[in-house]
Amino acid sequence: MAARTGRSPRRTESLSRERIVEAAVELLDSVGEGGLTFRALTERLATGPGAIYWHVANKGELLGAATEGVVAEAVAVKPGSADAPREEIRAVAFGLFDAIAEHPWLATQLSAQLSRSPLGMVTPRIFESIGRQVRALGVPEDGWFAATSALMHYILGAAGQHAANAAIGRDLGPGVDRGSYLDSVSTAWAQLDPDEYSFTRAVAGRLREHDDREQFLAGVDFILTGITSRGATATG
């Protein structure tokens, strides 16, 4: 009689930690954090809870692993030339922006990871992906931490706000799209008191016409310009 070789390759793959995390991300995307339960996970993977607990101890660890997996993919920028750190920072920024937009639960988890679990892999992974390029820009060493922190907090904050705005937009109901919503807000801004809100009235039309991704990148560029200008002054 042939000896038993254990689980089939497909079964082994379905019960790997990577497959469990992948299924968790799928659940988070479709039903949110509240719908991510070990029962739902066992049903999706067609397995028993024991097989999942073998790889993941609890929901907190599962959320952390899902967040780390999505972030790792988002910041995986192919190395460019030595004179392209600015472009690589932009690529990391857009990777995180798109990931947060694609995964509605990610912004909340990133906030929790950065504030409650700084010893985990998420914070240093983002910090490293930006910080290496800040260093390559020629920023003096005593400015590395501040410059990288400023970029990271802007990127995550702006991307998170964009995701929140998108979620609000989805709840506005049928017949109300982004354009019509921004048009109504722009009109309201234009009608504010001209003495108290002269600046807001002046840019009201920009609100109606702006592109979210272009605005996001403009913010990254503003910070990068300040970083490089200060570095040039410090070394000049």
Residue 153 is predicted with a pLDDT of: 94
Domain residues for the domain of 16 are 9-57
- Evaluate whether residue 70 is within a structural domain: no
* Same-domain pairing of 83 and 189: yes
Contact 43, 29 (CB under 8 A): no
Domain match, 144 and 191 both: yes
Whether 68 is covered by a domain: the verdict is: no
The structure's pTM equals: 0.82
Residues 207 and 184 sit within 8 Å (Cβ to Cβ):
no
What's the pLDDT tens digit per position in 57-76? Answer: 899 999 999 999 999 999 98
> Tokens at residue 73, please?
């993919």
Residue 228 — very low, low, confident or very high, per pLDDT cuts 50/70/90? confident
CATH code where residue 44 lies = 1.10.10.60
Distance CA 209, CA 183 (A): 9
The answer to whether residues 82 and 197 belong to one domain is: yes
User: Taking the chain, what is the end-to-end CA distance rounded to the nearest angstrom?
Assistant: 80
- Note the pLDDT of residue 83: 54
Question: Do 147 and 99 share a structural domain?
Answer: yes
Report yes or no on 3 lying in a domain.
Answer: no
The count of domains in the chain is 2
For residue range 170-206, what is the model confidence (pLDDT) as tens digits? 666 666 677 777 888 899 999 999 999 999 999 998 8
CA distance 191 to 188: 5
Same domain, 41 and 97: no
Whether residues 51 and 153 share a domain: the answer is no
